[in-house]
């Protein structure tokens, strides 16, 4: 059994996932802790970032990663009540409880109440639309974008971001192209794109995007391979996530 399998099995057995500086429980959250959230939290550029808004925090993993990486104040928005409770517990048990505020609200209801502007907005957004829904309503809320469309996410981000702020998301390949097409009419343009390859020899299946309110001539690109052919983590993946995973 390789180290990846050990950590996965340990988390499933205990409902606690241990990182170098914090731990996370996700058994009551609508979306379980996953690689997408971890990679997005690590990839986001936090240079000169003082205020962060996370949309759809779930168990709080992205907010916790960003708190470890920065000194920013973080508002973590979540619509599901049980996820909010669990995120608050995870934050309270962390070293950064004074800098992370978990807010129980939809994005639509949050806008009229909010007076802040943010340097960074980040989201692991819902991306399935209409088909292949599960029978669990709470999971549908987390995974399907009827309650938060791409247009709403992008348009609202335009209102809440500072002029030089950035919007970070992670999406499957097809949905990332849809997101980019919907962003341009709202005045958002891709500045950075990370293509995530699940395993050596495979095509990339996830895309991390940084979008800003300024059109540029050249987008920065990066690729990251998750697994080697033998099923172990790649060396580049170990380097990328090494400040967080215990076994690296």
Domain residue limits at 168 = 3-241
Instruction: Kindly state the tokens that stand for 159.
Output: 């209102």
Q: Residue 2's pLDDT is what?
A: 46
Q: Residue 140's pLDDT is what?
A: 44
Q: The dihedral of CA 98, 138, 33, 3: what is its sign?
A: positive
Domain assignment present for residue 247? The answer is no
Q: Residue 248's pLDDT is what?
A: 64
Q: Cα separation of 137 and 233, whole Å?
A: 34
Domain count along the chain: 1
Domain assignment present for residue 175? The answer is yes
Q: Residue 14's pLDDT is what?
A: 60
Domain assignment present for residue 64? The answer is yes
Q: Cα separation of 136 and 15, whole Å?
A: 20
Domain assignment present for residue 248? The answer is no
Domain assignment present for residue 152? The answer is yes
Q: How crowded is residue 51: how many other Cβ atoms within 10 Å of its Cβ?
A: 18
The partner residues of 196 in beta bridges, in order of sequence, read 206, 224
Tens-of-pLDDT digits for all 248 residues of the chain? 444 454 544 455 467 999 999 999 999 998 789 999 999 999 999 999 999 999 999 999 999 999 999 999 999 999 999 999 999 999 999 999 999 999 999 999 999 888 899 999 999 998 644 433 444 544 444 443 457 899 999 999 999 999 999 999 999 999 999 999 999 999 999 999 999 999 999 999 999 999 999 999 999 999 999 999 999 999 999 999 999 998 76
Q: Residue 247's pLDDT is what?
A: 75
Q: Residue 25's pLDDT is what?
A: 96
CB contact at 8 A, 21 and 146: no
Domain assignment present for residue 246? The answer is no
Q: Cα separation of 76 and 90, whole Å?
A: 12
Domain assignment present for residue 179? The answer is yes
Domain assignment present for residue 16? The answer is yes
Q: For residue 185, give the CATH number of its domain.
A: 3.40.50.150
CB neighbour class for 135 (10 Å; exposed up to 12, middle 13-18, buried from 19): exposed
């Amino acid at each position: 059994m390789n180290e990846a399998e050990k950590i996965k099995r340990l988390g499933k057995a205990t409902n606690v996932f241990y990182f170098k500086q914090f731990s996370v429980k996700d058994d009551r959250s609508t979306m379980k802790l996953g690689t997408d959230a971890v990679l997005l939290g690590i990839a986001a550029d936090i240079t000169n970032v003082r205020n962060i808004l996370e949309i759809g925090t779930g168990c709080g993993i992205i907010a916790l990663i960003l708190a470890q990486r920065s000194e920013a104040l973080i508002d973590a928005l979540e619509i599901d009540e049980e996820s909010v409770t669990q995120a608050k517990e995870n934050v309270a048990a962390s070293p950064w409880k004074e800098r992370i505020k978990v807010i129980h609200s939809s994005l639509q209801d949050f806008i009229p109440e909010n007076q802040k502007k943010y340097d960074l907005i980040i989201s692991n957004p819902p991306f399935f639309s209409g088909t292949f829904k599960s029978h669990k309503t709470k999971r549908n809320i987390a995974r399907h974008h009827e309650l938060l469309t791409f247009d709403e996410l992008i348009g609202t981000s335009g209102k809440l971001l500072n002029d030089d702020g950035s919007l970070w998301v992670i999406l499957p390949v097809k949905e990332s192209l849809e997101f980019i097409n919907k962003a341009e009419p709202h005045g958002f343009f891709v500045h950075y794109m990370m293509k995530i390859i699940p395993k050596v020899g495979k095509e990339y299946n996830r895309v991390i995007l940084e979008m800003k309110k300024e059109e540029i001539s050249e987008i920065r690109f990066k690729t990251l391979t998750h697994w080697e052919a033998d099923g172990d983590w790649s060396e580049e993946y170990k380097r990328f996530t090494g400040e967080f995973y215990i076994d690296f």
